Amino acid sequence: MRIDIMTLFPEMCEAVLSESIIGRARQNGFVDIRCVNIRDFTKDKHNRVDDAPYGGGTGMLMQTQPVYDCWEHICAELGKKPKLIYMSPQGQVLTQQKVKELSKEENLILLCGHYEGIDERVIEEIVDEEISIGDYVLTGGELPALVLADSISRMLPGVLANDEAFEQESHYSSLLEYPQYTRPPEWHGKSVPEVLLSGHHKNIEAWRREQSLKRTFERRKDLLDNAELSKSDRKLLDSLGKETKKY
Ligand code: 4HQ
């Protein structure tokens, strides 16, 4: 998969995408992520890409010309017009289901706005979908684009180790994670749960499932609506809350 990120801050994006798991995945060719500088496409003699909003008000807006020409350049290079996603608090809030869906695309273009945003006309012309990473306000679309690129990349074959990738597909997804422990076995007077030291794999698996279910029930009941639950899962959830209705 190839992802082109249109941004005024390509170095900021590049810095994040060069590290850790995504950095390695890019180096190994499992994902091709490019950070494209919108400013390189301005025709303004002073290299400006923004201007004041018509009708007045605070802040500056990104202008149509550099954004549009940047997009045309990417599409010409690819020989196609991939789905273009504009990172915006006005979009649908990102979910793992959406991530999974987008990870099936061959190409994506992510558009990052800065300042007060982008002239609406170019959004109408080139944007296929708006996505928000949550109901709070950031200074730019770069962090949201990086969140989206990261979440999509880890779904691609080869990016995660095999056992990690398996957990993605298993019934564990859509529940919260169980707690985990590593050495030492005792720290600040706290011991690691005994079952984890027992070497009894069946019991460990059952304990982890129970922990996942309990945590999800206590912290994020809403997630249970979409979880795949066995008969014994439901029995455990029943024992947690007598008053509970549907999950
Ligand atoms: N932005 N999820 C870009 C966000 C945002 C979000 C604010 C996007 C500023 C220019 N984007 N504008 N939350 O807060 O995607």
- Residue 110: predicted pLDDT: 99
Q: How far apart are CA 176 and CA 151, in angstroms?
A: 17
* Location of structure tokens 């789905």: 83
Say how many CA atoms lie within 13 Å of 94 toward its Cβ: 24
For 144-161, what is the HEC assignment?
HHHHHHHHHHCCCCCCCC
* Location of structure tokens 């298993």: 170
Q: How far apart are CA 110 and CA 87, in angstroms?
A: 7
Q: Percent of the chain having pLDDT more than 70?
A: 96
> Residue 170: which residues within 8 A CB-CB, separation 6 or more?
none
pLDDT in tens, 47-71: 999 999 999 999 999 999 999 999 9
* Location of structure tokens 């306000």: 137
Categorize the per-residue pLDDT at 203 as very low, low, confident or very high, splitting at 50, 70 and 90. Answer: very high
- CA 89 to ligand 1 center in whole angstroms: 5
- CA 112 to ligand 1 center in whole angstroms: 8
- Residue 165: predicted pLDDT: 77
pLDDT in tens, 95-111: 999 999 999 999 999 99
Categorize the per-residue pLDDT at 229 as very low, low, confident or very high, splitting at 50, 70 and 90. Answer: very high
- Residue 163: predicted pLDDT: 83
Candidates 8, 87, 133, 148: which one to mutate for ligand 1, based on the most atoms within 8 Å of Cβ? 87
Which residues have any ligand 1 atom within 6 Å of their CB? 87-89, 113-114, 117, 132-134, 136-138, 140-141, 144
For the chain, what is the HEC assignment?
CEEEEEECCHHHHHHHHCCHHHHHHHHCCCCEEEEEEHHHHCCCCCCCCEECCCCCCCCCEECHHHHHHHHHHHHHHHCCCCEEEEEEEEEEECCHHHHHHHCCCCEEEEECCECCCECHHHHHHHCCEEEECCCCCCCECHHHHHHHHHHHHCCCCCCCCHHHHHHHHCCCCCCCCCCCCCCCCEECCEECCHHHHCCCHHHHHHHHHHHHHHHHHHHCHHHHHHCCCCHHHHHHHHHHCCCCCCC
Q: What is the mean pLDDT of residues 180-208?
A: 98
Closest C-alpha residue for ligand 1 atom 9: 140
pLDDT in tens, 66-104: 999 999 999 999 999 999 999 999 999 999 999 999 999
pLDDT in tens, 158-190: 999 988 877 776 666 799 999 999 999 999 999
